[in-house]
Each structure stands twice: as C-alpha cells, then as structure tokens.
C-alpha cells in the first residue's frame, strides 16, 4: 500500500471573543488555524484514518470556548450533538457493513469510493446478515451522499487514496414493525 499523499486536514476556527470591549458594540473576531490529528482506526492496518472535530450540543452554542467533543474513542456519532470528521480510505480497502443512528452527509473530496448497501429486505441473526446481493454505487469526487440510518459499507476499489469529510448529526432511531412486533434500529456493525 502506498502512503497517503493527502494533505493534513486543518480546522480554521473563526469566532467572537467576549466580552465586547468598552466603547464598542461588536466583539473582537479571532481566527486560528489548527492541524487536525489524523489517527489510524484500530483494526485496519493503516488503511483507514480519521480525524474529527465535534460539538456536544445541538443546536450549537457560540458563547464561550469551542466545545470540541471529539475526544479519543468518542465514536462516529456524538450523542445529542454533531461530528465533522475526515475519513481517509487506502487503495483496495473497505469498511465493515454498519449502521449508525444518525443523519450523515458524506462529501467526497478526493478519489471515487464505492458505496455498498444491501439489496432488498434482510435479517440480522446472531450478528450475521442474510442479504445475498448488494447495490454498489461509485461516488465521484465532489459528490455528497446523504445517509439516513441505513446499513452500508465503503470500499476503495481504486489505486488512489480516498478522502471524505463527513458531517454526522445525532438522530432518533427508526422503529420498524416486524412479524415479532416493533424493533428499534440501533447502531450495528457486521
């Protein structure tokens, strides 16, 4: 696997500095540039890297310091808040099939990943899915994929690194009616 040539992502934070200085009616505006730490995701041998920033409440609060809820181990979805993260996917790699309880806006900045989703209805029994076919959609650079709590996986079937930026908003879980009653579709990894 070739090392990534993608640039280190930055967070450029522009915010009001309170209180308002005497004899003025607008606060000082401060803009700072910070590199975002990008770390390998455990279990992927350097083929999947992620760097995140988050806000632990929604709607966001602009008073005080930035509430950067992106702490190590905080996961994809920040409960009650939003997460913005960079996701780098190495050539020939893929993520597990999974579902999160969130609305995700995946913007492809570099490369052309493939979105993989189960075709048709299926069951999950003992952590294993019963689907036999998938719908594979190549997502061109510059596109945005909106994911609404469905099972999916990402694959990089190309020879170049892929980079996404994802905006993840916590959501209410879907409740579905099955033969055995109502079921809540929570986070799941297959």
What string of pLDDT tens digits covers the 190 residues of the chain?
778 888 888 888 888 988 899 999 999 999 999 888 777 777 666 666 777 777 778 888 887 766 565 554 456 787 888 888 888 999 999 999 999 999 999 999 999 999 999 999 999 999 999 999 999 999 999 999 999 999 999 999 999 999 999 999 999 999 999 999 999 999 999 9
| Antiparallel, parallel or unpaired: β 128-129 and 82-89 | unpaired
CA 175, CA 183: separation in Å to the nearest integer? 6
Spans of all domains in the chain: 30-172
Q: What is the per-residue pLDDT for 123?
A: 93
How many residues belong to the chain?
190
Cα dist from 172 to 77, 81, 147, 149, whole Å: 12, 12, 14, 9
Task: Please give the model's pTM, rounded to 2 decimal places.
Answer: 0.86
Q: Which of 187, 188, 186, 171 is nearest to 81 (CA)?
A: 171
CA 66, CA 15: separation in Å to the nearest integer? 9
Region label for 8, one of left (φ > 0), alpha (ψ between -120 and 50) or beta (otherwise): beta
Q: What is the per-residue pLDDT for 72?
A: 45
Q: Which CATH class is domain 30-172?
A: mainly beta
Q: How far is CA 163 from the centre of its chain?
A: 11
């Amino acid at each position: 696997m070739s090392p990534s040539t993608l640039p280190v992502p930055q967070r450029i934070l522009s915010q009001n500095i309170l209180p308002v200085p005497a004899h003025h009616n607008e606060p000082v505006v401060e803009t700072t540039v910070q590199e975002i730490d990008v770390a390998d995701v455990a279990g992927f041998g350097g083929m999947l890297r992620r760097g995140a920033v988050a806000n632990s409440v929604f709607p966001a609060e602009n008073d005080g310091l930035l509430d950067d809820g992106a702490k190590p181990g905080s996961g994809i979805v920040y409960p009650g808040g939003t997460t913005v993260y960079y996701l780098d996917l190495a050539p020939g790699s893929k993520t597990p099939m999974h579902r999160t309880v969130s609305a995700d806006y995946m913007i492809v900045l570099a490369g052309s990943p493939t979105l993989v989703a189960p075709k048709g209805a299926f069951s999950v029994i003992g952590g294993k899915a019963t689907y036999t076919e998938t719908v594979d959609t190549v997502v061109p650079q510059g596109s945005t994929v909106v994911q609404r709590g469905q099972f999916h996986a990402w694959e990089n079937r190309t020879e170049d690194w892929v980079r996404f930026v994802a905006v993840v908003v916590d959501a209410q879980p879907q409740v579905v009616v099955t033969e055995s009653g109502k079921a809540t579709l929570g986070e799941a990894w297959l």
